[in-house]
Structure 1
Amino acid sequence: MLGQIEVMQHLYPNLTLEKYEFYLQQMIPHNYKQLAVFDGEICVGLSGFWTAMKLWTGKYIEIDNFIVHSDHRSKGIGKVMTDYIDTKARAEGCTAIVLDAFTGNFTAHRFYYNQGYVPKGFHFIKMLDEDGLT
């Protein structure tokens, strides 16, 4: 996962290797995994995902940090990634796949609608330390 920091930095330009390594050390024991799509030796798509349990869904997968390199968009890479996660979720007996997309990211909204995702509610946050954000 550390080897793909440059792809992750497309989403989080200020992410350092040290912070990324620390976060991964904290996340991996809690079922965090990554899916990567390569064109030869180049990673062109990357997404984290978690398997967990909630009262309203039971077992679910959450997609986290979904990235397709801007030079490789509209080539079906995102669909390959969501199809893989869909297959994995079904195989693991999940009842749902969830994700967050920022309210102003209309390109992502259109993509997720086209993949069968619909908004179910609002994800509210109370920011406690904006300086701590990546």
Structure 2
Amino acid sequence: MNSIEIKNITKLDNLFETYPLYKIMYPDENEQIFKNNLKWMFEHNIEFICATDNQNIIAVCAYWLGVRLHSGKYLQIDSLIVQPEYRAQKIGQKLINFIENIARKEKAKYYVLDTYSENNKALKLYSKNNFAIKGFHLMKLL
């Protein structure tokens, strides 16, 4: 691990480079669907950050700002993924810190995320950062 840098991804082509990372979390992900989804997200102001080591993307995370009637402005974290060989090196922590600073700058009242209940490593990281389970994320497939 040389020089880890956290930065915004501002070009769609650079986002397409994150496909191998997403395959780690979502092994059945189709590359064309992935690219279509990224294109839609990029065009609809979903922001992306990454961690790089010598210009190689080793971690990625998406986020967006929103407003809820009952609780005001918030920031949503989506798909925080770190390459396995870089885990346990505080890279996930650096991404969370970076996003928390954005949330504070944007005057969000809180920030939220979803994770799989069986993802114990992620749950440990989020718990360490004072995220608390406040409800359930319900989904119905269409």
Structure 1 length-normalised TM: 0.88
Report sequence identity in percent: 27
Question: 1:40 Cα deviation (Å)?
Answer: 0.7
Alpha-carbon distance between aligned partners in 1 of 2:124 and 2:97, rounded to the nearest angstrom: 16
In the alignment, residue 98 of structure 2 is paired with which amino acid? Y
Question: 1:13 Cα deviation (Å)?
Answer: 1.8
The match for 1:99 among 109, 113, 132 is 113
Q: How many equivalent residue pairs?
A: 128
Q: Runs of 4 or more off by more than 3 Å in structure 1?
A: none
Structure 2 length-normalised TM: 0.84
Alpha-carbon distance between aligned partners in 1 of 2:41 and 2:58, rounded to the nearest angstrom: 23
The unaligned stretches of length 5 or more in structure 2 are 1-14
| 1:24 and 2:24 aligned | no
Question: 1:21 Cα deviation (Å)?
Answer: 1.8
User: What secondary structure sits across from 1:122 in the alignment?
Assistant: coil
Alpha-carbon distance between aligned partners in 2 of 1:31 and 1:58, rounded to the nearest angstrom: 19
Alpha-carbon distance between aligned partners in 1 of 2:100 and 2:74, rounded to the nearest angstrom: 11
Alpha-carbon distance between aligned partners in 2 of 1:116 and 1:4, rounded to the nearest angstrom: 28
| 1:90 and 2:104 aligned | yes
Q: Map 1:1-134 to 2 at 5 A.
A: 1-128=15-142
Aligned alpha-carbon RMSD (Å): 1.3
In the alignment, residue 52 of structure 1 is paired with which amino acid? G
Question: 1:113 Cα deviation (Å)?
Answer: 0.5
Alpha-carbon distance between aligned partners in 1 of 2:67 and 2:44, rounded to the nearest angstrom: 11
Question: 1:123 Cα deviation (Å)?
Answer: 0.9
Question: 1:101 Cα deviation (Å)?
Answer: 1.0
Encode CA deviations 1:65-116: one digit per residue, 9 max, x unaligned: 1101111111110110000000000001111100001111122111100012
User: What secondary structure sits across from 1:75 in the alignment?
Assistant: coil
